[in-house]
Amino acid sequence: MTNSIIHIFLAIVMPPLLLGVIGKTKAAFAGRVGAPFLQPYYDIFRLLQKGSVFSTTTSWIFRAGPIVALATTAIAGLLIPFGAHPSPISFNGDMILYAYLFALGRFFTMAAALDTGSSFEGMGSAREATYSCLAEPTLFFTLITLSRLSGSYSLSGMLSNVSAGAWLYAGPSLLLLIGGMFIVLLAENCRIPFDDPNTHLELTMIHEVMVLDHSGPAFAIIQYAASLKLFVLGAFFVQLALPFATGKSSMDWGIFVISMLFLAIVIGVVESVMARLRLVRVPQLLVAATILAAFSTLLVIR
Amino acid sequence: MHSSMQGLFDPALVALAAALVIGSAGIPGLFLRKPGPGQVFSAAVTILAALAGVPATLQLLFSNTTTTYILEWNLPFGPCEIAIDSLSAFFMLPVFLVSAAGSLFAVGYWPAAEHRANERGLTFFSGLLASSMAILLMARNGVFFIMVWEVMALSAYFLIVTEHEREDVRNAGVVYLIATHAGTAALFVYFSLLAARTGSFLLPANGSLSALSPFATFIALSAFTGFGAKAGIMPLHTWLPSAHANAPSHVSAVMSGVMLNMGLYGIFRTLSFYHDPPLLWGGILTLCGISSALLGIIFAVAQRDLKRLLACSSIENIGIITTGLGVAMLGVSSHTTTLAYLGMAGALLHILNHSFFKPLLFLGSGAIIHAAGTREMNLMGGLGKDMPRAALLFLVGSVAICGIPPLNGFVSEFLLYLGFFSQLQADSLIFLVFLAPLLALVGGVAVVAFTKLYGSVFLGSSRSSAMSHPHEPGVTMLAPMTFFALLCLLVGFAPQLALRLVSPAITMFFPDLNFAAVSTEYGAILSRLSLSGVLLLAFAVLATLLWRWRIGLGPVTSASTWGCAYQRGTSRMQYGATSFSELAVSVFNGIMRQRIERPALTGLFPAVAHCSDHPTETLLERIIAPLFTLAGLSFAFLRLMQHGQMHVYMMYIFATLFILMLWAH
């Protein structure tokens, strides 16, 4: 019970901090002081205070987009285990629900973008649709590999099985998975090299361009849901890449928080040292990620 | 009729009577001078018959005994048995639901006053189609089966060519007729071989034949071909998109939502005859199924015609069902109870789901066509504001068909995924788990296809001034759509109930396997799923309330969409249907292309130019179409015999019969 409360508390409070850490890391690389760690929180609170502007072209779909995106990500957050602690909701097959909840959120985000009738937002949602459907198989190959290694059909079972021991006997396939999942993590959260979350007016944008017309509280929800998505997918990745467990509850929570912050720093480093890919390269990289994950599956089921 | 069980309200008799009443509902209209009453009468009678038929069917589904009736006929094909077991009852449920909904929809969609010329035929053949499908499911004699099958196929043909004054409609009709008769030819082979094996045209009992006997695989293959052509399983799908797109929308709903099921029913029924099916059968079904699913949805995403997109997505859904059936058969062959159960449950539940959301979407497409006056998605846009109710119902269907939670499409795919994953701990056939990422890809592409459809039709603003008079459809059109949307929600939020609906058919299909344990286990998992759906809904409602409260605190203004500082944006500059899917389709270039003809623009002020796109299937264009041309050329000499003179045709028949008589002596 206590663990569930901590789980929900962390899922509510911590996500924007990751964005702050990423921003600080990038600033450090650029030789700037950078915005404070808590800047994303200020931004979200600021946006919540503001008024809203709605395009006359839009209907209720436009208003539903952010809400559904937030709700689906939040439920996905209840399905994923944080660190060594099992998730509050867990049942056989929850990994499929986890994967498909993002699809629901995406459906409404894209619909909301198309609802504005703006060609920029249409462009963004066309790209989002294509890239995310290419990212989907990678996640499933990862789930298959983990399910095979653990003999479990739920996220908590699969991910708690990944430990230093698992790395000893299935190291190569876990390494391949980490490669594939890191690419998916960056693509799904619209980070460099797939997308640049800082440039709102760039024609090569994907996610940011889909939310051009959202303002005020709606935009606050979108920002928060985006950070939550990074957190929820990041938790999956962290448990895969840094599976440390001590057996002591409080220690494990500490390890989880530190690992997440470390992940944010890594993303910040990647964003600082890489340029964004040309758009035609993006599908190629996503397919490469799928192949990496498929190799790992092949290794464990042979 | 003789019956082995007497009783005035025997559900089987009620179902049979309902089917016959639906079949004759259109007859009075044929003789009435005044247009209108006939159509309304037909709709009322069909709905009443369905109201009687559905409870009877449910009762039959859950009863363990099957009553057999014998129809007295003096044809030399043995006794004609009629029976409804759980499998028949399961397939019969959508027949009643969809045909009743379709007949009500027709009153608003194809009003007799406006369509005097073809409304009578349309009403009559709609009834005949529904009736023949229901009776087909009862037929237990091969020859009777083929007869009813032909009635069904031909009524569908007459429905497709309702608007026969248009050339594309006639072409679609001809292609359909050729495809369905090629399938029927395979069925002649199938039933003859089956009769040769059993010694009678009566369909064999469950599990009474051995799959190891010679010819068993040949019989199964002829069934897959004949029934697969009707179901639209790859590579026998080529007729489907044009036929379903060109029929009136409520007919498309019945054809896509129910008639395709009849092909599947044939395959299910055939497989139920055999015990110990070889791995090959399941393998073929799985392979054809997953390629139908993947290619079908890739075809769908490239379409610009609203109804063709829906028709191609039928190929996808039939593919998913066939995959489920295939893995279930593989589960039986490899003695993996879990796989057999989950594959079968997923396949059957997806059949039910597809007959809920596909009619919803096809009926919705009828409402859209009424409002927009076109099927071309590139010309639509912004309809959601003119027809908010229809738009909401269509949204439910779109989310459901993408297999996204918390709606019904997700539940059946969820069961299939569980089946694939369960193979990881099995002793054999582990590689079946590779179907999971493929199904995920199918789901991903489906999201592209249906955001494209929903976005270009209902969202944004209108792309052409040609839209006739956008309006909300009347209550006779909205009511059937609402009905199906509610069914989608019901199955989505209470999947454990739906699982109970498919259980009798599964038990009937595999009498030797004991599913009690797995069925309880997966029932429990589905109730967890339903809880998560409720949780999601509750969270969304809570977030909406908080957001509304928050928004109420600040000023709310409205302005035009931000064009990134460009002041003269027009609705023609929106992303259209073709441009939305261009990127996605380019990824699958080898399978499907959107061939876009762009004009060459020259000078600083280019003249008015036109740009058009044509979705083309690479396989069809490069391989199948040339093969057909080749066949046409090489059989050209047969045209000498085909000259349209009736008396000579009659002579052919006489000569054939005479030769057969000589041969028999």
pLDDT tens sequence across B205-257: 888 888 888 788 999 999 999 999 999 998 888 899 999 999 999 999 999 99
Q: Do B574 and A118 touch (CB under 8 A)?
A: yes
Q: Which two tokens stand for residue B42?
A: 């037909």
CB–CB of B53/B130 below 8 Å? no
Contacts of B322 (CB under 8 A, 6+ apart): B231, B233, B264, B267, B285, B286, B288, B289, B292, B347
Residue B125, pLDDT > 60, answer yes
Q: Where exactly are the structural domains of chain B?
A: 348-547
Coil vs helix vs strand at A80: coil
Residue B3, pLDDT score: 43
Nearest of B612, B591, B615, B578 to residue B448 by alpha carbon? B578
3-state secondary structure of B614: strand
Residue B2, pLDDT > 70, answer no
Which tens digit of pLDDT belongs to each residue from B41-59? 999 999 999 999 999 999 9
Q: What is the mean pLDDT of residues B380-387?
A: 89
Contact B444 A111 (CB under 8 A): no
**Which residues from B are below 8 Å from A143, CB to CB?**
421, 436
One-character DSSP codes across A171-189: HHHHHHHHHHHHHHHHHHT
Task: Please tell me what DSSP assigns to residue A275.
Answer: P
**Interface with A, mutate which of B398, B438, B458, B547 (most A CBs under 10 A):** B547
Helices then strands, counting H and E runs in chain B, come out as 25, 8
B322: distance to nearest CA of chain A, Å? 21
Question: What whole-number distance in Å separates Cα of residue A129 and Cα of residue B446?
Answer: 10
Query: In whole numbers, what is the pLDDT of chain B averaged over residues?
Result: 90
pLDDT(B6) > 50:
no
Determine how β-strand A52-55 pairs with β-strand B556-559.
parallel
Sign (positive or negative) of CA dihedral B96, B98, B103, B105: positive
Nearest CA in chain A to B428: A301
Distance of CA B251 to CAs B51, B103, B126, B359, B435, Å?
20, 9, 7, 9, 33
CB contact under 8 Å between B447 and A153, yes or no, is no
Tens of pLDDT, residue by residue over B91-121, are 999 999 999 999 999 999 998 888 888 888 8
Say whether B460 and A53 touch across the interface (CB within 8 A): no
d(CA B235, CA B441): 20
**Which chain B residues have a beta carbon less than 8 Å from that of A177?**
none
- Mutation target for A interface from B341, B431, B451: give the one with most A CBs within 10 A: B451
**Distance of residue A119 Cα from the nearest chain B Cα, in angstroms:** 4
Between CA A228 and CA A78 the distance in angstroms is: 11
Q: What is the ipTM of this complex?
A: 0.94
pLDDT digit string, tens, across residues B274-312: 988 899 999 999 999 999 999 999 999 999 999 999 999
Q: With beta carbons under 8 A apart, name residues in chain B contacting A296.
A: none
Chain A residues whose CB is inside 8 A of the B442 CB are none
pLDDT at A192: 82
Residue B5 has pLDDT above 50, yes or no: no
Q: Delimit the domains of chain A by residue range.
A: 2-133+148-168+205-272
Query: To the nearest whole angstrom, how far is the Cα of B390 from the nearest Cα of chain A?
Result: 14
Distance CA A292, CA A236 (A): 17
Per-residue pLDDT of chain A (302 residues; tens, 9 = 90+): 889 999 999 999 999 999 999 999 999 999 999 899 999 999 999 999 888 999 888 999 999 999 999 999 999 999 999 988 889 999 999 999 999 999 999 999 999 999 998 888 888 899 989 998 899 999 999 999 999 988 889 999 888 887 777 777 788 888 999 999 999 999 988 888 888 777 665 556 778 888 888 988 999 999 999 999 999 999 999 998 888 888 888 898 999 999 999 999 999 999 999 888 888 888 899 999 999 999 999 998 87
Cα(B97)–Cα(A163) distance, integer angstroms: 53
Q: For position B144, what pLDDT does the model report?
A: 93
Separation in Å, CA of A90 to nearest CA in chain B: 9
Cβ-based neighbours of B225, under 8 Å, separated by 6 or more: B183, B186, B236
Phi and psi, residue B166, nearest 5°: -95, 140
